[in-house]
Amino acid sequence: MRRISISLVLVVALLLAIPGDRAQQSSSGVPEKRQGAPQQPAPPQPPSPQEQSPERQDQGKITQVVNLVDVLFTVLNRRNKLVPDLEKDDFKIWDDKAPEAIRYFSRQTDLPLRIGLLMDTSNSIRDRLKFEQDAATSFLFSVLRHNKDQAFVMTFDDEPSVLQAFTDDAGRLRDEIVKTRAGGGTAVYDAIYNACEKELSHPPRPPGDQPDVVRRVMILISDGDDNLSNHTRSEAIEMAQRYSVVIYTISTSTQWIQLSQTNPDKAANRKTHLTEGDKILQDLAEETGGRAFYPYHVDDLDQSFQDIGDELRNQYSIAYIPTHSQFDGKYHKIRIEVPDHKGYQVRARRGYYAKANSNRPPSTNPSGSANQP
């Protein structure tokens, strides 16, 4: 009896120690509702793998890598005047000699510009530094539109350095330009690579419904003689092409100038040959769809700057998916023609590198479509 009494006492003690919610459970094991206590909603149960659709995975996003190549270009007639009114059917495009179907086509006019102004301040251009400063300032005041376009200034000798970040204030840019001093080696390719990767890859967005639609431009003022870069010319060009940066080059070299006997100070002097540095500048420009200029006086550039501004605000965009559609990491040549209009010339980048990493999702380029891989 004593053992039974002790057992009953222990049972009663255990029942008293059980929390109220547990003590109110029914014989089925389901807790009864407590009066006045808020009912907590049951946590949502994830669907089974069979119930999951592609739209529900990855937080409702579908990621698909598309080898879409987008090419920006301008068209000039026999007189080097812009041709702004052509249609999709006027163009034919080839990728490594294979004809391609044009998936997207548009005429893009009056887009905001994002300009990188790169000045060579190495020792080799010491005698032409004043020319560089005047040329850079003249370009900005000719092309930059307040409250619409923006530019930054970068100098380079041993290494690149941003003097003034993106701004639409040409006066602020000029104030930094006139402070530049020359000295050191020449790292042209590093400067191009750095400017594209760190500045022009994600330029300031304009307000409006299409915040990503801007035109990315580089003005490179140099003699073209690189002697210090860690990156190669091909790497610099590839970086510019990746972000659809059009490079315009202005040579500081005067070695090709033949002075006129009658008036040696006039710009009527003509070039007799291109230096090796000039050829490098020409290659950088043509590979990215720009132009190279070889002036002697800053005044020679006045009309050129106006032409650049007009070109950048009157461009076409073509996008296509290559028939090879391979992420092979190789360089692929592009050719665009206007077959029914003899004498028309197309100024566009010469090719692109198909990135080897097929798992990387597509980025967005300045014209709003997926960038080349």
CATH number at residue 148: 3.40.50.410
Domain co-membership, 94 together with 155: no
**Rounded mean pLDDT, 155-182:** 97
Domain co-membership, 234 together with 284: yes
**Domain stops at, among 267, 290, 312:** 312
Name, in order, each residue with C-beta under 8 angstroms of 5's C-beta and a sequence gap of 6 or more: none
Beta-sheet strands, E only, within 296-371: 314-320, 331-337, 345-348, 351-353
**Which residue is it, tokens 């000699």?**
97
Q: Indicate the residue type of 56.
A: R
**Rounded mean pLDDT, 6-11:** 47
Domain co-membership, 213 together with 259: yes
**Domain stops at, among 286, 312, 338:** 312
In a domain, 54, yes or no: no
Confidence band (pLDDT; 50, 70, 90) for 265?
low
**Percentage of residues in the chain having pLDDT higher than 90:** 60
In a domain, 19, yes or no: no
In a domain, 46, yes or no: no
Q: What does the pLDDT look like over 24-55, one tens digit per residue? A: 444 444 444 444 444 444 444 444 333 333 34
The C-alpha atoms of residue 330 and residue 235 are separated, in whole angstroms, by 13
Domain co-membership, 206 together with 262: yes
Distances from the Cα of 177 to the Cα of 119, 127, 147, 224, 279, angstroms: 9, 16, 21, 19, 26
In a domain, 243, yes or no: yes
Task: Specify the 3-state DSSP secondary structure of 22.
Answer: helix
In a domain, 320, yes or no: yes
Task: Specify the 3-state DSSP secondary structure of 155.
Answer: strand
Range of the domain at 147: 111-312
- Can you give the pLDDT at residue 174? 97
Token code pair at residue 229: 């870069």
- Dihedral sign for Cα atoms in the order 103, 108, 114, 116: positive
Domain co-membership, 175 together with 269: yes
Domain co-membership, 282 together with 320: no
Angle at 15 between CA 10 and CA 30, to 5 degrees: 145
- Dihedral sign for Cα atoms in the order 115, 67, 336, 315: negative
Task: Specify the 3-state DSSP secondary structure of 149.
Answer: coil
**Which residue is it, tokens 């076409």?**
316
In a domain, 82, yes or no: yes
| Residues in a beta bridge with 331 | 353
Domain co-membership, 320 together with 308: no
In a domain, 152, yes or no: yes
The tally of domains found in the chain comes to 2
Domain co-membership, 305 together with 331: no
**Rounded mean pLDDT, 292-311:** 89
Confidence band (pLDDT; 50, 70, 90) for 232?
very high
Domain co-membership, 215 together with 296: yes
Domain co-membership, 198 together with 148: yes
Domain co-membership, 170 together with 234: yes
**Residue 51 backbone class (left: φ over 0; alpha: ψ -120 to 50; beta: rest):** alpha
In a domain, 141, yes or no: yes
Confidence band (pLDDT; 50, 70, 90) for 60?
low
Compute the mean pLDDT over every residue in the chain, rounded to the nearest whole number: 80
Does the predicted model carry a pTM greater than 0.85?
no
**Domain stops at, among 312, 331, 357:** 312
Domain co-membership, 282 together with 321: no
Beta-sheet strands, E only, within the chain: 69-76, 92-95, 98-100, 104-109, 113-120, 150-156, 160-167, 215-222, 246-251, 257-258, 270-271, 292-293, 314-320, 331-337, 345-348, 351-353
